[in-house]
């Protein structure tokens, strides 16, 4: 009887649905299988085949019988929507009679909040039980089973029931926090949408400006090309006229020569003695004149036209340079932000400035700006930028024309440039007992120059104009110096120590400290914020060409971070990468982290890692080949491009090796007497060389 009643009820529901569809003149969509009626569509989404969370305005209990009954109530205890019939049964059954059912306007739109609320009171370890206690000792919520299972050893005073008392003040705070967060999220989403729109606008504007700049560049190039065409045409036309005139002169001389030849032959065959004499004189005079003219024409040199490519174009790799700068947030963002609820996590790697800011200051707006190039692509050093003042929705652009005559031209790389004539500057003084032996040269950031004078046991400070500012007399003979921040480190040939110096406010050298060493230091170079030192095991052996055991140490002050010892008897194989290290007399650190060693008649580049116990393999080496002689290598230096400069003391020259490819090399200075040290002042485009037994330093300007 009950099944019959249910069938009758379902039939009645189906008839009502059919009538509804007929009245609306709508049918089920053939492509989606969904009814067009909004009410039926809502019921369709609630069918058993769909997820329960989407729409639950039909009876949850009837869906188990594949019935779609409209819900008129919601049980907050069972978290189920109930139809009229199920609601009646729900209130009759003793177990569910006390449940709270929401009807009418109080019935929720979906059950998700109630499901989440029920999940909060369920024990995570025993989902069938509700949470009854809070364990303060373990800071967790537990049920009755947890008390007997996991927390039976916890102290009773650490177990307490959740506080069920009302706290209106806390509720108000929570509600206000939620409202503030809602407003903050909405504001953030709105700002991000505007930001997306502005980024597209920036993109279009940048592309447009880049295209306009490219058009100007093309027009400029075309103009210069036309001028070049006119110039070469004019030169060729002039040369063509001269050459054609010479050809015509040659033809005239050839005709004249044929004429006197016929005259000479005729006089010999048919002329009288008098005619022969006169003809011979005429032929002789005429031939001499022709010879003079043709000799004069032959002295005219042919002109070969070559094109010298301007250095800007090969290095022109981009039309514009797009960089990032940090912009300030708008005032509306700051006012609507809040840091009361969200806690910013600590992180040691975060910039201290950002770390001290609150959450409202963290979401910094990024702005784009475009810096148009002149002759080559410009780069922006973010470390040198002043604090940003870019306002929101503002785009900064700096315009520079590529061929603007007012801007300086781009210079070639150092490896492609020549050096000019030598300029020499006197660096001796009356107190010097010997001619200077400049074994090391260093450049300060302000242009001042530091020299190590081995023969006079002194270090000398020069101005950027090579005038001696100050001199400090040492107890030993300095071999090498290096700069680490504001500190000057000096090693001497006859002392087992490294001395440290500084420059006071008056520009005077003064000793700030130092530390002893167990071996004889002969060369020193910076290694990050530390120093790397080359030691020899025997005193006064730096000038010997014989092999000797060496030690390389990386030091942080007096502390030895890493040491590498290479014994002279370790290897007899010349193909071994470390075979020539025992010839080392000079060390220099490259920006790549590798080190250069001057090894008598060669220079080798090795990989050194402070974390490893042994020196890495040899990366490359350079030595004499062909006419490029290199003997007794001493001074080493690099420029800002990483190119290497090598002094050959006995070969009397300075070599240059490319930073990109060591096979690209040359003798930069071919005739200089016993160079001992070299330094590149990249900012001022000059090469400084110090020599043995010479009271002058020699400066070569890069062209």
What pLDDT, in 10s, does the model give residues 155-206? 777 778 776 656 677 778 888 888 999 999 999 999 999 999 999 998 999 8
**Strands 366-372 and 595-599, sheet pairing:** unpaired
Residue 335: how many other CB atoms lie within 10 Å: 10
Task: Could you list the beta-strand ranges (E) of 363-508.
Answer: 366-372, 396-398, 419-426, 438-443, 449-453, 458-462, 468-473, 478-484, 487-492, 497-503
pLDDT per residue over 369-395, tens digit each? 333 333 333 333 433 334 433 333 333
Average of per-residue pLDDT across 101-120: 87
Average of per-residue pLDDT across 65-94: 90
Say whether pLDDT at 700 is over 50: yes
Least confident of 35-49, 150-164, 350-364: 350-364
Whether the full predicted model's pTM is greater than 0.85, yes or no, is no
Residue 196: how many other CB atoms lie within 10 Å: 10
Of the segments 357-361, 404-408, 425-429, 565-569, which one has the largest average pLDDT value?
Answer: 425-429
| Dihedrals phi, psi of 577, to nearest 5 degrees | -60, -30
pLDDT per residue over 555-611, tens digit each? 988 888 888 888 877 667 777 778 888 889 999 999 888 999 998 889 999 988 877
Distance in angstroms (rounded) separating the CA atoms of residues 666 and 627 = 10
- pLDDT for 169 equals 72
- pLDDT for 325 equals 53
β-bridge mates for residue 369, sequence order: 323, 396
Say whether pLDDT at 679 is over 90: yes
Which pLDDT band holds residue 86 (cuts at 50, 70, 90)?
very high
Average of per-residue pLDDT across 446-475: 94
Which pLDDT band holds residue 32 (cuts at 50, 70, 90)?
very low
Residue 52 vs residue 595, higher pLDDT: 595
Least confident of 16-20, 142-146, 622-626: 16-20
Task: Could you list the beta-strand ranges (E) of 188-338.
Answer: 320-326
Residue 158 vs residue 294, higher pLDDT: 294
- pLDDT for 571 equals 66
Average of per-residue pLDDT across 384-408: 39
DSSP letters for 362-388: TSPPEEEEEEE-SSS-----GGGPPPP
- pLDDT for 313 equals 52
| Dihedrals phi, psi of 155, to nearest 5 degrees | -70, 145
Distance in angstroms (rounded) separating the CA atoms of residues 204 and 409 = 31
Percentage of the chain lying above the pLDDT 70 cut: 76
Nearest-5° Cα angle at 305, 303 to 306: 140
| Dihedrals phi, psi of 13, to nearest 5 degrees | -65, -45
HEC assignment per residue over 527-556: ECCEEEEEEECCCCCCCCCCCCCEEEEEEE
- pLDDT for 310 equals 59
Say whether pLDDT at 356 is over 70: no
Q: What is the mean pLDDT of the chain?
A: 78
- pLDDT for 304 equals 75
Say whether pLDDT at 145 is over 80: yes
- pLDDT for 228 equals 86
Which pLDDT band holds residue 309 (cuts at 50, 70, 90)?
low
| Dihedrals phi, psi of 445, to nearest 5 degrees | -65, -25
Average of per-residue pLDDT across 497-521: 92
DSSP letters for 271-289: --HHHHHHHHHHHHHHHHH
CA dihedral 100, 105, 111, 115 (to 10 degrees): -40
Q: List own/partner pairs for 496-500 with CB under 8 A and 24 or more apart.
A: 496/520, 496/521, 497/521, 498/524, 498/531, 498/533, 498/555, 499/474
Say whether pLDDT at 234 is over 80: yes
- pLDDT for 324 equals 57
Contact (CB, 8 A) for 481 and 489: yes
Say whether pLDDT at 36 is over 50: no
- pLDDT for 321 equals 65
- pLDDT for 662 equals 85
């Amino acid at each position: 009887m009950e099944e019959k009643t249910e069938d009758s009820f379902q039939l009645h529901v189906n008839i009502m649905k059919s009538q509804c569809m007929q009245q609306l003149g709508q049918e089920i969509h053939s492509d989606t299988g969904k009814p067009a009626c909004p009410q039926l569509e809502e019921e369709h989404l609630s069918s058993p085949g769909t997820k329960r969370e989407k729409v639950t305005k039909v009876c949850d209990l009837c869906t188990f019988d594949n019935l779609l009954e409209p819900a008129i109530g919601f049980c907050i205890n069972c978290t189920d929507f109930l139809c009229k019939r199920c609601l009646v049964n729900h209130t009759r059954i003793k177990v569910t009679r006390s449940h709270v059912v929401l009807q009418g306007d109080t019935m929720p739109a979906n059950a998700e909040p109630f499901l989440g609320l029920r999940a909060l009171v369920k024990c995570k370890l025993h989902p069938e039980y509700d949470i009854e206690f809070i364990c303060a000792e373990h800071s967790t919520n537990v049920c009755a089973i947890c008390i007997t299972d996991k927390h039976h050893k916890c102290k009773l005073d650490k177990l307490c029931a959740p506080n069920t008392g009302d706290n209106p003040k806390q509720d108000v705070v929570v509600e206000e926090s939620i409202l503030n967060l809602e407003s903050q999220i909405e504001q953030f989403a709105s700002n991000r949408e505007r930001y997306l729109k502005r980024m597209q606008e920036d993109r279009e504007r940048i592309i447009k400006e880049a295209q306009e700049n490219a058009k100007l560049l093309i027009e400029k190039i075309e103009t210069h090309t036309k001028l070049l065409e006119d110039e070469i045409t004019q030169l060729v036309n002039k040369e063509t006229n001269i050459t054609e005139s010479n050809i015509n002169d040659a033809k005239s001389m050839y005709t004249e020569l044929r004429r006197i030849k016929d005259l000479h032959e005729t006089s010999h065959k048919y002329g009288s003695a008098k005619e022969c004499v006169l003809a011979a004189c005429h032929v002789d005079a005429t031939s001499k004149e022709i010879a003079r003219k043709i000799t004069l024409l032959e002295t005219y040199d042919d002109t070969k036209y070559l094109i010298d490519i301007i250095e800007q174009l090969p290095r022109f790799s981009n039309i514009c340079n797009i960089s990032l700068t940090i912009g300030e947030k708008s005032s509306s963002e700051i006012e609507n932000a809040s840091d009361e609820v969200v806690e910013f996590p600590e992180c040691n790697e975060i910039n201290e400035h950002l770390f001290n800011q609150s959450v409202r200051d963290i979401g910094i707006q990024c702005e784009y700006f475009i810096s148009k190039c002149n002759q080559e692509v410009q780069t922006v050093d973010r470390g040198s930028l002043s604090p940003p003042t870019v306002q929101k929705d503002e785009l900064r652009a700096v315009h520079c024309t590529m061929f603007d005559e007012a801007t300086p031209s781009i210079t070639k790389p150092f490896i492609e440039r020549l050096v000019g004539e030598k300029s020499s500057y006197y660096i001796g003084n009356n107190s010097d007992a010997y001619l200077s032996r400049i074994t090391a040269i260093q450049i300060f950031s302000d242009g001042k120059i530091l020299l190590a004078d081995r023969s006079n046991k002194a270090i000398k400070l020069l101005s950027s104009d090579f005038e001696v500012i100050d001199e400090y007399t040492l107890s030993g003979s300095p071999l090498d110096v290096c700069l680490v921040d504001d500190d000057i480190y000096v090693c001497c040939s006859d002392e087992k120590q490294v001395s440290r110096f500084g420059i006071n406010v008056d520009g005077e050298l003064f000793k700030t400290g130092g530390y002893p060493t167990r071996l004889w230091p002969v060369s020193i170079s910076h290694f990050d914020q530390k120093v790397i030192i080359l030691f020899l095991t025997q005193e006064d052996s730096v000038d010997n060409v014989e092999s000797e055991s060496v030690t390389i140490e990386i030091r942080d002050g007096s502390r030895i971070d890493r040491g590498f010892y290479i014994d002279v008897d370790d290897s007899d194989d010349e193909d071994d990468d470390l075979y020539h290290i025992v010839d080392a007399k000079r060390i220099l650190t490259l920006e790549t982290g590798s080190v250069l060693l001057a090894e008598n008649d060669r220079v080798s580049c090795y990989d050194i890692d402070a974390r490893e116990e042994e020196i890495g393999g040899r990366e490359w080496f350079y030595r004499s080949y062909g006419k490029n002689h290199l003997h007794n290598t001493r001074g080493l230096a690099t420029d800002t491009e990483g190119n290497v400069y090598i002094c050959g003391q006995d070969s009397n020259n300075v070599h240059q090796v490319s930073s990109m490819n060591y096979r690209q090399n040359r003798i930069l200075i071919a005739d200089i007497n016993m160079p001992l040290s070299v330094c590149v002042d990249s900012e001022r485009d000059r090469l400084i060389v110090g020599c043995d037994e010479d009271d002058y330093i020699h400066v070569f300007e890069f062209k």
